[in-house]
A and B are shown apart, each in its own frame.
Chain A
Amino acid sequence: MLVPWINQLLQGILLGGLYTMFATGLSLSAGVMRFVNIAHGDFIVLACFALLVLTTALGLNPVVATLIVLPFAFLFGFGLQRFLLQRVVGQNVLLVILVTFGLSIIIENGLLEGFGADTRKVSGGWLETATVALGQGINVGLFQVFTFIAAVALVAVLDLLLYRTGIGAKIRAVSDDVAAADLIGLSSGRIYAVAMGISFVTVGIAAGFMSIWTNFDPASGPTRLLIAFEVVVLGGLGSLWGSLAGGIVLGIAQSIGGQWDITWQMLAGHIIFLLVLAVRPQGLFPRY
């Protein structure tokens, strides 16, 4: 009687790992750079399609394909910030939302044009179906466990990067006071671009795991954005470890909700999100 619930609880925790990956990049741009990239989910899906092409057309191993995508993701994020988003940063926040919303529409329709509306998936081979039996009928997927470990590692590495390196200190300085940074010759435009590049590396990593974990199609982006958003707000804006907690909370809520009644899967997540927002609007682990 209890076993399915325990299975779902574990599923939820592991799903939280994937959700954390969706959220880390958004956490960086929203928490550190103080703006919201509405196209975040679409960029994840765009990277998924890039991985699909690399793995099917070139027959590359998904891990190799992801590693190839990452440096390009960094350059793409860097360039996007430097040449497009930087023009609207610091102005009316509506402008950033409009520009990234426009990007979202371009990506979705571009993918639809290029790949059609079919649901796709990247094959993870044997890893996809391998399970670890924990006894008593409790099983978890090996790939899901890997994803969770990778999510924890990603958060740890980003945390080190932000709090233990020179570029991290610069990013935090710009986040503290952009104008002051410019006054002392820390070019905020360049630092924003590096931060966005890092954010896009997390997008590439998230895509690597998501493309194997679940189906995607050109219209999958907004749902990913919504999840990432909820995770960031649940965890506390700008708090990376908070994102991990937020991801797990959301994952468990969806898993347990789905076990109770499958139609409640997404709804349970949103309800938990709204409840936390009502009771603790600063999130579970606010940075300040």
Chain B
Amino acid sequence: MITATTPKPLLTLSGVCVFYGNFRAIDQIDIAVGAGEIVSIIGANGAGKTTLLKAIIGQADRVEGRICFAGAEILGSTTAAIVRSGIMLVPEGRRLFPSLTVEENLQLGWEVGRRGQIGFDDVFRLFPVLREQRRQRAGWLSGGQQQMVALGRALLANPRLLLCDEISLGLAPQVVAELYALIPAIKARGIGILIVEQDLERSLSVADRFYCLLEGRVSLAGRPAEVTHETVIRHYFGL
């Protein structure tokens, strides 16, 4: 198993298994994410990427192994406690509260999180369009704007680690490019980012390191620059 060196290990998963009933969706995974580091989880549909994020955030049914965040064991903690300790998820499909306004959606992120320097002004600076739309119901926004609200909501929780699940899903390439262009600014604040993405190129282009999942196991890990496209594809599909 490859354990790449990280600047400062913020999150470490050791020997983590996740079960759905008797089915082992994640099998003995070791993963580390450092502060201010972007780590990509790639893998085909059903490889266990979303399950992994759910295990970290405390929303998986049965998890074994160890999950340490900022020096403390978080496996078994409630999601609310994990979020307060500084991990926030941008869920797959955005999962905004459609009948609430943009501002109310953002406010919820602020309330569940920990106190920190990121405030509403920072989010509006990052996504100026949200300031204009802040009284609009979230359900009426375009997909791209909804993704901005989802990201903004997560940032307002002042996370030390941001989990991004398929932020490109269902969005126009142009919008995806705009969103990904903001990732370095988030990293620059010293926030660790764990990105789950099916879009290989996109995901590897921003990542410092990556892990490739195949049927619940890490099939390849390393730095994007150190591996060839063919190697990644081989481990992606298990060829």
Contacts and interface: CB of A to CB of B under 8 A. Distances in A.
B97 A176 contact: yes
B73 interface: no
B97 A182 contact: no
Given A177-B97, A180-B97, A182-B79, A169 B91 contact: no
Q: Which of B59, B78, B80, B88 is the most central at the interface, judged by chain A CB atoms within 10 Å of its CB?
A: B80
B91 A184 contact: yes
Contacts of B153: 184
A187 B79 contact: yes
A169 B112 contact: no
A179 B78 CA distance: 14
B24 interface: no
Interface residues of B, number: 28
Interface string B105-144: 1011101110000000000000000000000000000000
B98 interface: yes
B25 interface: no
Given A184-B83, A184-B89, A185-B79, A170 B95 contact: no
Q: Which of A166, A173, A175, A182 is the most central at the interface, judged by chain B CB atoms within 10 Å of its CB?
A: A173
A180 B96 CA distance: 7
Q: How large is the interface on A (under 10, 10 to 19, 20 to 34, 35 or more residues)?
A: 10 to 19
Contact of A172 (B89, B100, B154): B100
B82 interface: yes
Interface in B37-79: 57, 59, 78-79
Nearest to A174: B97
Q: Which of A175, A181, A185 is the most central at the interface, judged by chain B CB atoms within 10 Å of its CB?
A: A185
A60 to B, nearest CB: 39
Contact of B97 (A166, A172, A185): A172
Contacts of A152: none
B27 interface: no
A175 B80 CA distance: 18
B108 A186 contact: yes
B84 A166 contact: no
A180 B107 contact: no
B208 interface: no
Contacts of A172: 97, 99-100, 104
A279 interface: no
Interface in A177-205: 177, 179-187
B140 to A, nearest CB: 13
13 contacts: A170-B111, A172-B104, A173-B108, A176-B99, A177-B95, A180-B91, A180-B95, A183-B95, A184-B89, A184-B153, A184-B154, A185-B112, A185-B157
Interface of A: 166, 169-170, 172-173, 175-177, 179-187, 288
Given A172-B104, A183-B57, 5 more contacts: A173-B100, A176-B100, A180-B97, A184-B88, A185-B113
